[in-house]
Amino acid sequence: MSTHHQHRRGRTAPRPWRARLLAALGACALLLASGTVAPSASAEDGDGDGSGGDKVLTVAVAQSVDSLSPFLAVRLVSTSIHRLTYEYLTNYDAEDNHVIPGLATEWKSSPDKLTWTYTIRSDSRWSDGERATAEDAAWTFNTMMTDPGAATANGSFVGNFAKVTAPSPTQLVIRLKKPQATMTALDVPIVPKHVWEKVDDFSEFNNDKDFPVVGNGPFVLTDYKPDSYVRLKANKDFWRGAPKFDELVFRYYKDQDAAVAALRKGEVSFVAGSPSLTPAQADSLKGEENMRVNDAPGRRFYALATNPGARAKDGTKFGNGDPSLLDRRVRNALFKAVDRRAIVDKVFQGHAVEGAGYIPPRFSSYFFEPSAGQELAYDPQQAAELLDEAGYRTGADGKRLGKDGKPLDYRVLCHATDPNDKAVGKYLQEWWGELGISVTLDCLDNVTDPWLAGEYDLAFDGWSVNPDPDFVLSIHTCDALPATPKDTGATDNFICDKEYDALYARQLAEYDAGKRAGIVKQLESRLYDTGYMNVMAYPNAVEAYRTDQIESITTMPSAAGNIYGQDGYWSWWSAVPADSGDSSGGSSSTGTVIGIAAGVVVLAGLVVLFAVRRRATADDRE
Scanning residues 116 to 155, which ones bind other proteins (CB under 8 A)? 148, 152
The stretch among 110-118, 228-236, 327-335, 360-368 that binds other proteins (CB under 8 A) is 228-236
443 binds other proteins (CB under 8 A): yes
227 binds other proteins (CB under 8 A): yes
Which residues, 6 or more positions from 287, have their beta carbon under 8 angstroms from its beta carbon? none
Using CB under 8 A, pick the residue from 115, 147, 229, 409 that binds other proteins: 229
DSSP state letters, 565-612: T-SSSHHHHH-EE-S--HHHHHHHHHHHHHHHHHHHHHHHHHHHHHHH
In this structure, how many other beta carbons lie within 10 angstroms of the beta carbon of residue 608? 10
Beta-ladder partners of 500: none
426 binds other proteins (CB under 8 A): yes
228 binds other proteins (CB under 8 A): yes
540 binds other proteins (CB under 8 A): no
Using CB under 8 A, pick the residue from 147, 223, 354, 468 that binds other proteins: 223
56 binds other proteins (CB under 8 A): yes
Using CB under 8 A, pick the residue from 142, 180, 281, 507 that binds other proteins: 281
284 binds other proteins (CB under 8 A): yes
User: Which of 312, 515, 501, 324 lies closest to 411, judged by CA?
Assistant: 324
Smallest separation, CB 198 to other proteins (Å): 18
Residue 452 to residue 450: CA distance in whole angstroms: 6
User: Which of 424, 425, 431, 421 lies closest to 333, judged by CA?
Assistant: 431
Using CB under 8 A, pick the residue from 14, 179, 398, 586 that binds other proteins: 14
Using CB under 8 A, pick the residue from 19, 64, 375, 403 that binds other proteins: 64
Beta-ladder partners of 438: 409
- Distance in angstroms between the alpha carbons of the first and the last residue of the chain: 34
Using CB under 8 A, pick the residue from 173, 185, 258, 603 that binds other proteins: 258
78 binds other proteins (CB under 8 A): no
Contact letters (x/-) for other proteins, 573-592, by CB under 8 A? -----------------xx-
* Contacting other proteins within 28-47 (CB under 8 A): 28, 31-32, 34-39, 41-42, 45
User: Which of 308, 342, 322, 261 lies closest to 491, judged by CA?
Assistant: 308
Phi and psi, residue 338, nearest 5°:
-105, 120
Contact 10, 545 (CB under 8 A): no
Smallest separation, CB 430 to other proteins (Å): 5
* Contacting other proteins within 320-359 (CB under 8 A): 342, 346, 349
Q: With CB under 8 A, what is the number of residues at the site for other proteins?
A: 113
Nearer to other proteins, 216 or 278 (CB): 278
Question: Nearest-5° angle of CA 159, CA 163, CA 165?
Answer: 130
Buried b (16+ CB within 10 A) or exposed e, 393-416: ebeeeebbbbeeeeebebbbbbbe
66 binds other proteins (CB under 8 A): yes
The stretch among 252-260, 299-307, 402-410, 500-508 that binds other proteins (CB under 8 A) is 252-260
Which residues, 6 or more positions from 203, have their beta carbon under 8 angstroms from its beta carbon? 72, 148, 149, 150, 152
Smallest separation, CB 241 to other proteins (Å): 24
620 binds other proteins (CB under 8 A): yes
**71 exposure class (CB count in 10 Å sphere: 0-12, 13-18, 19+):** buried
User: Which of 69, 80, 78 lies closest to 196, judged by CA?
Assistant: 69
Residue 249 to residue 252: CA distance in whole angstroms: 10
Nearer to other proteins, 4 or 198 (CB): 4
Nearer to other proteins, 133 or 584 (CB): 584
Cis peptide, bond prior to residue 557, ω within 30 of zero? yes
Cα dihedral across residues 490, 492, 498, 501: positive or negative: negative
* Contacting other proteins within 365-404 (CB under 8 A): none
**DSSP state, 510?**
-
Smallest separation, CB 286 to other proteins (Å): 11
Smallest separation, CB 193 to other proteins (Å): 21
Nearer to other proteins, 593 or 604 (CB): 593
* Contacting other proteins within 448-487 (CB under 8 A): 448-449, 451-452, 480, 483-484, 486-487
Using CB under 8 A, pick the residue from 168, 316, 374, 446 that binds other proteins: 446
Nearer to other proteins, 105 or 152 (CB): 152
74 binds other proteins (CB under 8 A): yes
27 binds other proteins (CB under 8 A): yes
Smallest separation, CB 320 to other proteins (Å): 15
Smallest separation, CB 386 to other proteins (Å): 20
Q: If residue 452 lies in a helix (H) or strand (E), which one and from where to where?
A: helix 448-453
